[in-house]
Amino acid sequence: MKKFFFGLSILATLGLQASDSLSLNMASMRDGMQSVQDGFLYNNKTTILDGLKKITKANEMFHNEASAAEFLPKEKKTLSKVAYLSSKSLNIYLSEMEEYVKENRIIEASSSFSGVVHSCTRCHAIVRGW
């Protein structure tokens, strides 16, 4: 019985850490998006690139299908592949955007930004049942 409770408390701790890192990384993604938008609005490419870096770093938490599944509600676990693919497409749009910004192709970069927003929304739609 003691072992059982010990196991439970470890699970609870792990659960807490997982959700902590989720909200920290999501806050970081949100900050990154803010920088990107500010960079577009105030004409500052470095701010855009810093924002992209921040989002890319936070997105590392979804490094495989299992790590995406961890944060899905029980009844949505079957959609873990779609959730994982949304984080992969997020990465692709982020690096595409980075290239465009570096090449000063800002209109194309803003189109890639739509892809970034779409990727965030794709995963949130699953998680939130939108």
CB 71 within 8 A of CB 93: no
Binding interface with ligand HEC (CB under 6 A): 22-23, 26, 29-30, 33, 55, 62, 68, 71, 83, 86-87, 90, 116, 119-120, 123-124, 127-128
- C-alpha 64 chain-centroid distance: 13
Output 12 or 18, the one with its CB closest to ligand HEC: 18
Output 13 or 64, the one with its CB closest to ligand HEC: 64
Nearest-approach distance from CB 2 to ligand HEC, in angstroms: 34
The DSSP string of 47-100 is HHHHHHHHHHHHHTT--SHHHHHTTS-GGGGGGHHHHHHHHHHHHHHHHHHHHH
What DSSP designation does 105 have? -
Output 7 or 15, the one with its CB closest to ligand HEC: 15
Nearest-approach distance from CB 42 to ligand HEC, in angstroms: 20
Nearest-approach distance from CB 3 to ligand HEC, in angstroms: 31
What DSSP designation does 104 have? T
CB 72 within 8 A of CB 83: yes
Nearest-approach distance from CB 83 to ligand HEC, in angstroms: 4
Output 60 or 99, the one with its CB closest to ligand HEC: 60
